[in-house]
Amino acid sequence: MIAIVILSLCYIVVAFLVTEKNAEQTLSGYNTMSEEECKRVDIRTYIPFFKRFHLFLGISSFIGGTMILYFINEHWGILFTIFYPLVIYPYFIWKGKKSDNNTGLFH
């Protein structure tokens, strides 16, 4: 149960820590772009999406993990807590690419 709470809180905290003002320092990938590349990223639409996604991930991870923990067993609850983010993050990456107008290997 402690792992479920800690991981869920981590996702929620990340949602509130990353803002448009500190994105240059905190967002991996964005902080290594040149100024020209940063201008082609629509950070104003990306940050609200980032926040909503991580809030949803934190809340749904807590609810899902807790329900599975109590209604099935601890092992399935922990497995859900581990694999749920791995399944949902590809969606985050795919949707996040819409804010990036840079051309490259994956665009």
Give the pLDDT confidence score for residue 103 in this predicted structure: 53
- pLDDT-derived band of residue 38, with 50, 70 and 90 as boundaries? confident
- pLDDT-derived band of residue 102, with 50, 70 and 90 as boundaries? low
Every domain of the chain and the residues it spans: 1-102
For 55-100, write each residue's pLDDT tens digit.
Answer: 999 999 999 999 999 999 988 988 898 899 999 999 988 887 776 6
Length of the chain: 107
- CA pseudo-torsion sign 23, 25, 31, 36: positive
- pLDDT-derived band of residue 107, with 50, 70 and 90 as boundaries? very low
> Alpha helices of 1-107 — where are they, by DSSP H?
2-17, 23-26, 35-39, 43-71, 74-96
Using an 8 Å Cβ cutoff, are 67 and 28 in contact?
A: no
Q: Kindly report the pTM of this predicted structure.
A: 0.81
Nearest to 65 by CA among 46, 79, 53: 79
